[in-house]
Amino acid sequence: MASASPFRIVHTVCSHDCPDSCAVLVTVNEEGRAVKVQGDPSHPITQGFLCGKVAKYLDRVYAPDRILYPLKRRAGVPKGPLLRGREHEAFERVGWDEALDAIAARLQQVSDQYGSESILPYSYAGTMGVLGYGSMDRRFFHRLGASRLDRTICAEAGGQAWTSVYGKKLSTPTEDFALAKLVIAWGANIHGNNVHLWPYVEQARRKGARLIVIDPYRTRTAALADWHIAIRPGTDVALALGLMHVILREGLEDRAYIERMTHGFEQLAERAREYTPERVAAWTGMTAAEIEQLAREYATTRPAVIRMNYGMQRSENGGAAIRAVAMLPVLTGAWQHRGGGAQLSTSGAFAWNENALRLPDLQMSSPLGREARLVNMSALGEALESRDKRTEGQRDREGLKERLDMHALFVYNSNPAAVAPNHNAVRRGLERADLFTVVHDLFFTDTTDYADYVLPATTFLEHTDVQGAYGHYFVQLSQQAIEPPGEARSNVWLFGQLGQRMGFAEPCFRDTAEEMIAQALAIGPDGHAHNAGMEHITLDELKKQGRAPLALDHTQPFLPFASGTVPTPSGRIEFYSDKLVTSNIDPLPGFVPPIESRWGKAAAQYPLELLARKNDNYMNSTFANLPGHRKMEARHDQRLEMHPADAEARGIREGEAVRIFNDRGAMELTAMTNEHLPAGVVAARMDWAKLHPGATNINALTSERLTDIGGGATFYSTLVEVTRA
C-alpha cells in the first residue's frame, strides 16, 4: 500500500497589485512549512507559471527580517528615517493585548478631543484579496467615524474615464488576444508587469499579428515590438485624436456600428477635425506621416486590440487620454470582432456585495451620525500638513472643540512614505510629534520609521481570502496554506479585534473570514442580484474547485460591447458625456498640455519632463527590500536615464553623479544615457527612500496636483532640471 504523501498542496491566489491574479499552488510539508510555490497549470491565464517577483515568494514569507511581533516606539525616539537593519532598536516588543488596548484608547482620545474625522485610514492594494483590501477595516473606520480615504493613487482617473465612455469596466478577454491581427500596447508594459497576457500576444504574433507599442519609455515590451512609438509624456490624448482625424477623413470608421451603439458622434467628429496630423506631430514628437500610417494600419486591420494600462492616466490630462484611446475601437467597430476591442480592466465584471462587506451604514452609529468627509490619498502631504480651513462658526455647528487637523493615521496595505507623491510634504506630515501613527506591515519600511506602533501582517499564504482580477474573469479562493509566523495577523483579525476593544457591540466585528466571503458572494436582502454573473458561485464550490468563471454572457464568445445597451446615462457608448459637463469637465476629449510639461511656464526653469517609473521586478515599493529582487533591478538602481543630447547639453557624462531637482525636492543619482528616450525626457525608478543617501526617493520631485478626471496622482507630469552633482 502506497504511503500518504507528506506534502499537501493548497490553492492560493497572488494578492499583489497586478492584473493577472495568478492561481498559486503552495506545497506544504509535514512541519507546516511552505516549500514550493508554483503557478496552477490548470488555470487558463496563469498557465502554470509565475512572474519573477513571485516565483521567489518564499524569500519574502521566510525573510529573516520579517516583523513577527507588535512593536511600540521607545520613549524619546524621534520619528524619521532609521538605519536599515537596526530599526528594531527604536521599538520595544509588546503583546497584542497591550498594543490593541493602547491603540483603541488613543483613537478614542483623538476622536473625543479633535473629532473622529481627525483619524485617517490609509490603504491601497498591498493586497488585492477582497477581504484584505476592504472589508473589516472599512467596518471599523465607518463605525469609528473616521475620515474616508478617496483611494485615487493608482487607477481612479482611468477607471472613471473608461466608465464615462462605456458605463462599466469590461474588456476584451485576455485569451482572445491570441486571435488579434494587430495588438497595440498603449502605455502598457505587458512583458514587464502583465506577463500572463504575453503568451497570447506571442500566439497572435506567430500567426502574423503585429505588435505596436506606444510608450515614452522603451520598456521590455517596446524592445520586443514591431514598431515602438516613443511619444512625449502626456500627449496620448493628442495622438488618439490625431488618429481619429485620419480615420474620419479617410472614411475608415464603421458608420453602422457608430449609429447603432453610440452617443455624440457628430460632436466628436467636429473635435477630431482640429487634430490634423501636423498639429499632433508637433505635440507628440512623431511625424505626420507616422500618424497617418498608424491610423490606417489600426483602422484597416481586423481584429485589432488595444491593451492600455494605468500608467497613461498618471498625467494631468490622464482622464482625457484614457477616454480618447478608449474611443478608438468604437470608431472602427473593433468590438464586434473576437480578438478586437480594448483592455484596461475587467474588474467591473465582479459584482461583490460590497455593502454587506463594508457596512457603510455603520457611519450613522458613529459619533458623526453622517457620512464622513473624503480625503484624497494622492494629496496625503497636504492632508497631514495643512490645517483645517473651517471657520469657528462651522466648527461649532459640527460640535468640534478644535480645528479638524489629522491627529491619527492608520496605515495598512501601503507604504506612503515611499509611494505617495510629494515625498517631502508627506515626510513633514509624518514627522509631526502630535500625529499618532499605526502601521500594519510585514517589514520595516519607509513608513514604519514614523510609526508609534508597528503591527505584524500576513502574506497571502497565511490567511484566507477571495479574489477577482482586473486582467481576467475568474473568481478564486485563496486558502490559508500555513500558520502565520510569529504573531503576524491578517487585516480581518486586526480590525475585528480593534472594533471589539473600542466597545463596538455590533456582531459584525466578530465575523470570520469564511463568513465574510459568503457575505461578499451573497445576493442582497432585497433579492437583488448584486452579484450578476456570480449567482452560481458559492464558497463550497470554490473550496472544491479553487476558482469559478464568471457567467459573462449566455452567448459565446464574450464580446462586451458588440451590441445591446451599456450602463451609461444614454444607454449608449458615449463619445460625448453630459455627466462630465455637470462636473465642469470637457465632455469631449481634448488635448490640454499638462502644466508640468515642456509647454508649461515652469519649463523655463525646469525644462526636463520626468518619468518617475516603477521597477519591473518590484510591485511599487513591495519586494524592494529583498536581495534577490534588488539584484534583478541592479542595472537601473539609482540611475537617471537621459537622452544623450540632454546629457551633452549639461556637460554630463555616462556614470557621473548628477543632481535632479525642482521646487519640491532634489536627489542625487548616477547618469545613464538612453538614446531611446525622447529628447527632453528623463527617467528614474521609484525605490524605498531609506535605502539611499538623504533618505529620499524620486517622489521628492513629483507633485500632488491631481488628474483632470477622478482626482488621481500625476506622477508622470513632473518638470525637473538636472546638473552635475
The residues of the shown chain that bind ligand SF4, judged by CB under 6 A, are: 14, 16, 18, 20-22, 50-51, 53-54, 195-196
Residue 618 and residue 627 in contact, taking contact as beta carbons nearer than 8 Å: no
Least separation in angstroms between residue 15's CB and ligand SF4 is 8
The minimum distance between CB 110 and ligand SF4, in angstroms, equals 36
Cell, residue 634: 541592479
Query: How far from 401 is each of 3, 6, 120, 562, CA to CA, in Å?
Result: 70, 63, 18, 57
Least gap, CB of 611 to ligand SF4 (angstroms): 22
Report the nearest approach of ligand SF4 to the CB of residue 350 (Å): 15
Helix/strand/coil for 23: strand
How much is the CA Rg of the chain, to the nearest whole Å? Answer: 25
**Torsion 377-381-387-389 (CA) sign:** negative
User: Residue 53 or 664: which CB sits closer to ligand SF4?
Assistant: 53
Nearest-approach distance from CB 128 to ligand SF4, in angstroms: 8
What's the Cα-to-Cα distance from 178 to each of 171, 301, 378, 414, 435, rounded to whole Å? 15, 15, 37, 35, 52
Strands of 172-239, DSSP E: 182-186, 210-214, 227-229
Q: How far is the CB of 690 from ligand SF4 (least distance, A)?
A: 24
Q: Which is nearer to ligand SF4, 53 or 263 (CB)?
A: 53
H or E stretch at 53: helix 52-55
> Residues 658, 725: contact at Cβ < 8 Å?
yes
Q: Which is nearer to ligand SF4, 62 or 655 (CB)?
A: 62
Distance between the two ends of the chain, CA-based, in angstroms? 73
Q: Of 38 and 424, which has the nearer Cβ to ligand SF4? A: 38
Nearest Cα neighbor of 166 from 471, 590, 588, 574 is 574
Residue with cell 464603421: 254
In whole angstroms, how close is the CB of 57 to ligand SF4 at the nearest point?
8
| Matching residue, cell 479585534 | 497
The percent of the chain in helix, strand and coil, each rounded to the nearest 5, is: 35, 15, 45
**214 - beta bridge partners?**
186, 229
* Residue 16 or 73 with smaller CB distance to ligand SF4: 16
The minimum distance between CB 219 and ligand SF4, in angstroms, equals 16
- What span, in angstroms and rounded, lies between the C-alpha atoms of 139 and 249? 54
Which SS3 state, helix, strand or coil, does residue 231 take?
coil
Pairing state of beta strands 666-673 and 657-661?
A: antiparallel
Shortest separation between residue 471's beta carbon and ligand SF4, angstroms: 8
When the beta carbons of 54 and 419 are compared against ligand SF4, the nearer one is 54
Cβ at position 49, least distance to ligand SF4 in Å: 9
22 or 411, CB closer to ligand SF4? 22
CA distances from 223 to 229, 610, 677 (A): 11, 20, 12
Q: Which residues contact 250 (CB under 8 A, 6 or more apart)?
A: 295, 296, 299
- What's the min distance (Å) between Cβ of 218 and ligand SF4? 21
Smallest distance from the beta carbon of 221 to ligand SF4, in angstroms? 14
CA dihedral 663, 667, 668, 670 (to 10 degrees): -90
Comparison of 129 and 285: residue with beta carbon closer to ligand SF4:
129
The C-alpha atoms of residue 488 and residue 139 are separated, in whole angstroms, by: 21
Distance of closest approach, residue 7 Cβ to ligand SF4, in angstroms: 21
Half-sphere exposure of 491 (CA within 13 A, CB side): 32
User: Closest CB to ligand SF4 among 16 and 489?
Assistant: 16
CB proximity list for 354: less than 8 A, separation 6 or greater: 134, 520, 530
Q: Which is nearer to ligand SF4, 21 or 702 (CB)?
A: 21
- Cα 284 from chain centroid (whole Å): 26
Of 240 and 349, which CB lies nearer to ligand SF4 in the complex structure?
A: 349
* CB-nearer residue toward ligand SF4: 195 or 612: 195
Closer to ligand SF4 by CB, 344 or 454: give it. Answer: 344
C-beta of 617: minimal distance to ligand SF4 in Å? Answer: 10
Distance of CA 73 to the CA centre of its chain: 31
Q: Alpha helix (H) ranges present in 399-526?
A: 416-419, 423-431, 491-501, 513-521
CA distances to 117, 420, 702 from 424, rounded to whole Å, are 24, 10, 10
Are 492 and 132 in contact by the 8 Å Cβ rule? The answer is yes
Comparison of 51 and 286: residue with beta carbon closer to ligand SF4 = 51
- Give me the residue label for grid cell 512541519: 31
